[in-house]
Amino acid sequence: MLKLLATIASKPSGALGLGLTLFHLALALLAPWIAPFDPTAQNADTILLAPNASHLMGTDTLGRDVFSRVVYGGRLAIAVTFTAAVIATLWGGFAGIFFGTVGGRVDEYAMRVVDAFLSMPWLLFLLLIISIGGAGPLTIIPTLGFFYGVAVLRVVRGAAMQLAARDFVTAAKARGEALWPILSREMFPNLSDILLVEGAMRWSWMLLAFSSLSFLGFGATPPTPDWGLMVAQERGLLSTAPWGVFWPCLTLSSLIIGINLLADAVGKALGLDRATAVAV
């Protein structure tokens, strides 16, 4: 792991991605000690103040400190999307390895179902499920985990098919080894690098999806400090008080860019091509 981190940090883009990601994780963990004000506390005397010495990023329409809300704003998004990314990577990765190894009609029928899911307007289905189940993490996490896991399945399955044709897997099958030992000892260890990169990629996309849901009113709910929700609440004042939108947008963008740069650096360090998600 230390060698991998050193390889990532040796490249400017990798160092930037790693730094941005770690910065935002530290910001979310240390928010109670960094934020100078209660992020939900309203103050009629400080409504729409421009950035100043007391309020570094200004205040919003309810007099809340924008800096405190930005600092706290990533906690829910990071927790929800990271958990969902782990779920998507685990179930999609295992299913992809299984179908890629088994092949035959089982794989063919499964891929038709996967193709059907990938062709659906997933955002509409996501909104429908959340409308029925509620806008809480218990609904959003498994929903994001399922939809993004389908894409992981497709990528990992392609890599598993190539690996299954290698001599050491063919030899294991010729020895009469059962399916589970082949999956656990031959396939999974050799595809774990791809799963790591896929997980990082899906995490960045889930962050954008969760913020979009919050913007539409289906993610975080008031008065929870959340970047997408902050943009939705302050977008009407772009011409007079742009700081309420600018700072959460900048923070969210920097985190997504950081994770994507980190995922790209990890892929290159592990000898993977993100365009094809197979070993090069």
For range 119-141, the mean pLDDT: 82
Q: What is the mean pLDDT of residues 243-268?
A: 93
For the cut 90, the answer to whether the pLDDT of residue 120 exceeds it is no
Distances, alpha carbon 2 to alpha carbons 19, 92, 263, in Å: 15, 27, 16
2-279 CATH: 1.10.3720.10
Picking from 81, 265, 96, the residue whose alpha carbon sits closest to that of residue 195 is: 96
Q: What is the mean pLDDT of the chain?
A: 88
Taking each helix axis as running N to C, give the angle between helix 122-133 and helix 188-216, from 0 to 180 degrees, rounded to the nearest 10.
70
Q: Is the pLDDT of residue 194 over 50?
A: yes
Q: Is the dihedral of CA 105, 107, 109, 115 positive or negative?
A: negative
Q: Percent of the chain scored above 90 by pLDDT? A: 55
pLDDT value at residue 223? 87
Strands (E), the chain: 272-273, 278-279
123 pLDDT above the threshold of 80 = no
pLDDT of 197 > 60? The answer is: yes
Mean pLDDT within 164-185: 85
Give the Å distances, CA to CA, from 270 to 17, 59, 167, 279, 280: 16, 45, 22, 9, 10
Q: What is the pTM of this model?
A: 0.89
Across the range 168-175, mean pLDDT stands at 83
**Distance between CA atoms of 159 and 195, rounded to whole angstroms?**
10
Confidence of residue 135 (pLDDT cuts 50, 70, 90): confident
Report whether pLDDT(168) > 70: yes
The pLDDT of residue 121: 78
Q: Which residue has the higher pLDDT, 269 or 33?
A: 33
- Model confidence at 275: pLDDT above 60: no
Q: For residue 118, what pLDDT band results from cuts at 50, 70 and 90? A: confident
